[in-house]
């Protein structure tokens, strides 16, 4: 992969990169199409990264469909698919990790210790291997995008960093590989995340500024749609620094993580 990237760069080709864990949906494909607008060659990686899963998480059963993914990438206009093996990425004597401090202590980082160390490490490695000129991530994993952009700047990668909008189903459910775990019934209940975010947006438009009141309404909407839902967090944060906000001012994103019948889903929406 490194040799190929060097040859492409020597030919004057601009390389776009979209890292994924596979089981691609329209959200992933939109990132490939976005990269294609600015790059001559778009490389997509498929790698289910064991380092970002805790022992009690769903690494073993995380959905996989390599053949189907490759067909989708080709149809979306992707040029190259990079599918490394875990033993190639992490040999037995592997001991080096990348850690972004501060930004990884909140939101997902507060409930999934070590998760972002695995994310930043694999993405840094992929950047070193693929050597892209630009990279595209999705807004759905908002905190991940903020963390990885910080890493890109701090480590001096000469890479243009693009964050593309969240892609949703017609009814508003954010597209996610984990949606595969949902049954027809639980799929309807999973809309509780979108309904809660839409409620927050509506309250802000109505000039409600009390974050505690907004959060209370969001929790009520979630439980009305899915009475058995387990809310990991609802958080209001600065879009650039992830610092918690107690007042509605400036660029704020409301993020939430909810377990719907055991399926952990995340979503977010910009409020201003």
Q: Annotated active-site positions, please?
A: 28
Output the six-digit token pair for 104.
Answer: 């990884």
Q: What is the DSSP string of 124-155?
A: HHHHHHH--SEEEEEGGGHHHHHHHHHHHHHT
Sheet holding 263-270, edge to edge: 230-238, 252-260, 263-270
d(CA 216, CA 52): 31
Measured over all CA atoms, what is the biggest interatomic distance in the chain, rounded to whole angstroms? 58
Output the six-digit token pair for 59.
Answer: 């690494």
- For 105, the 3-state DSSP assignment is coil
d(CA 190, CA 183): 10
24, 69 Cβ separation under 8 angstroms: yes
- For 67, the 3-state DSSP assignment is helix
Q: Pick from 102, 110, 105: which is nearest to 232 by CA?
A: 110
Output the six-digit token pair for 195.
Answer: 């309904």
List Cβ neighbours of 64 (8 Å cut-off, separation of 6 or more): 22, 23, 48
d(CA 253, CA 166): 13
């Amino acid at each position: 992969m490194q040799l190929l990237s060097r040859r492409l760069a020597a030919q004057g080709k601009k390389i776009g990169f979209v890292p994924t864990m596979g089981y691609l949906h329209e959200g992933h494909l939109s990132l490939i199409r976005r990269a294609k607008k600015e790059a001559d060659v778009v490389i997509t990686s498929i790698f289910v990264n064991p380092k970002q899963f805790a022992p009690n998480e769903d690494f073993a059963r995380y959905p996989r469909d390599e053949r189907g993914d490759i067909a989708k990438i080709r149809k979306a206009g992707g040029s190259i698919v990079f599918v490394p093996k875990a033993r190639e990425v992490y040999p037995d004597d592997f001991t080096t990790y990348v850690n972004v401090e501060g930004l990884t202590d909140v939101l997902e980082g507060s409930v999934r210790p070590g998760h972002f160390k695995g994310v930043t490490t694999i993405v840094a490695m992929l950047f070193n291997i693929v050597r892209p000129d630009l990279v595209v991530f999705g807004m759905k994993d908002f905190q991940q995008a903020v963390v990885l952009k910080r890493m890109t700047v701090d480590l001096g990668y000469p890479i243009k960093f693009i964050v593309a909008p969240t892609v949703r189903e017609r009814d508003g459910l954010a597209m996610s590989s984990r949606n595969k775990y949902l049954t027809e019934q639980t799929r309807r209940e999973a809309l509780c995340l979108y309904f809660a975010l839409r409620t927050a947006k509506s309250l802000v438009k109505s000039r409600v500024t009390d974050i505690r009141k907004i959060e209370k309404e969001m929790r009520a909407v979630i439980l009305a749609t899915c009475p058995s839902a387990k809310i990991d967090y609802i958080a209001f944060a600065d879009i650039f620094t992830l610092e918690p906000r107690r007042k509605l001012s400036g660029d704020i994103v409301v993020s939430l993580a909810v377990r719907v019948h055991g399926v952990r889903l995340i979503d977010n929406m910009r409020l201003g």
